[in-house]
Copies of this chain bind each other. A is one copy, B any other.
């Protein structure tokens, strides 16, 4: 097996130890690691160089097998590695890693601009959970001078709506906080529903915080437009090959305290973290490359990350 550069090992260790956390920092670190590997490689043949890169990628992948942004960084870079000589391979690798990191760096700003353009002065938005991509849209709209108001769902069980409410207040957006069950009652007074995404599948369905799909069905029923704001590192190329996204079941203590539970008696408590919204309930996905109907996002996914049927790091 090919050597892995110490920088790669260090990056992998940081990711494994969760010192590097969050979709974007992980993706950035992974691309950076490949850049280091390419820059410092003393491989003598193109084949050896490629084998090293693949090995580095596999090493990085092993740290967090279920993250989405990590393999996207690797796919982006590896499929742009081309050339007949070691030097050409090196240069294309460096260029691809640079391009990836530079796009990533401005992705949220670009996305925010796109989302902001959908909003008009005076609009009211409804949000679910806490998404920095959604907030980027609101922030950009505020910078465009638009006045906005917001209805914020508290988002049980972890109440991330409280964080969203605070951030919106910081942007001078008047906020009305409601329990999740009250959403339908407010949908007719709202101009847009805006949510983030944890992962976006090739069939156009969106994995996001539990409660998103029920909200989307009601938004469609009420005629309220609903958009997903998500950077392309949330696209999930594995789903091109039919893989479904595993839904994490979290600890029941988030839902009910030990005491309350004890008072009720022997019951099960289910705490799924996410749900899946089919594309027919969503109006658009807003990314840093522009907005797309959910049914078309697969085109962007293949353009950026390849077909998915092949794993570019396979030995």
User: Which A residues contact B (CB, under 8 angstroms)?
Assistant: 110, 113-118, 120, 152, 154-157, 159, 162, 165-166, 169, 174-188, 202-204, 209-211, 213-215, 217-218, 221-223, 239-244, 255-256, 260, 263-272, 275, 278-280, 283-284, 286, 288-296, 298-299, 302, 307-309
> Known contacts A156-B180, A179-B157; is A242 also within 8 Å of B210 by CB?
no
| Smallest CB gap from A241: residue in B | B114
Choose one: B110, B181, B260, B272; the contact of A185 (CB below 8 Å).
Answer: B272
Decide: A217 and B117 in contact? CB cutoff 8 A: no
A242–B117 CA distance with the chains assembled, in angstroms: 5
Decide: B309 and A110 in contact? CB cutoff 8 A: yes
Choose one: B152, B182, B222, B307; the contact of A210 (CB below 8 Å).
Answer: B182
Decide: B184 and A217 in contact? CB cutoff 8 A: yes
A181 to chain B, nearest CB (A): 3
A47 to chain B, nearest CB (A): 22
Decide: B165 and A267 in contact? CB cutoff 8 A: yes
> Known contacts A217-B217, A280-B280; is A169 also within 8 Å of B266 by CB?
yes
Choose one: B165, B221, B242, B299; the contact of A217 (CB below 8 Å).
Answer: B221
Decide if the interface of chain A is mainly helix, strand, loop or mixed: mixed
Decide: A203 and B157 in contact? CB cutoff 8 A: no
| Smallest CB gap from A137: residue in B | B242
For residue A278, which residues in chain B have a CB less than 8 angstroms away from its CB?
Answer: 283
A300 to chain B, nearest CB (A): 9
Decide: B204 and A293 in contact? CB cutoff 8 A: yes
| Smallest CB gap from A150: residue in B | B267
For residue A286, which residues in chain B have a CB less than 8 angstroms away from its CB?
Answer: 242
For residue A294, which residues in chain B have a CB less than 8 angstroms away from its CB?
Answer: 293, 295
For residue A218, which residues in chain B have a CB less than 8 angstroms away from its CB?
Answer: 214, 217-218
A23–B155 CA distance with the chains assembled, in angstroms: 32
> Known contacts A289-B309, A307-B289; is A185 also within 8 Å of B210 by CB?
yes
Decide: B267 and A169 in contact? CB cutoff 8 A: yes
Choose one: B213, B289, B296; the contact of A296 (CB below 8 Å).
Answer: B296
Q: Which residue of A113, A279, A283, A298 has the most chain B CB atoms within 10 A of its CB atom?
A: A298
Decide: B117 and A243 in contact? CB cutoff 8 A: yes
A302–B300 CA distance with the chains assembled, in angstroms: 11
| Smallest CB gap from A205: residue in B | B283
28 contacts between A and B (CB under 8 A): A115-B242, A117-B241, A117-B242, A117-B244, A154-B256, A155-B181, A165-B267, A174-B268, A175-B267, A177-B256, A177-B270, A178-B255, A180-B181, A180-B211, A181-B209, A181-B210, A182-B272, A184-B275, A185-B210, A185-B213, A217-B217, A217-B218, A223-B223, A240-B291, A241-B290, A290-B308, A293-B294, A294-B295
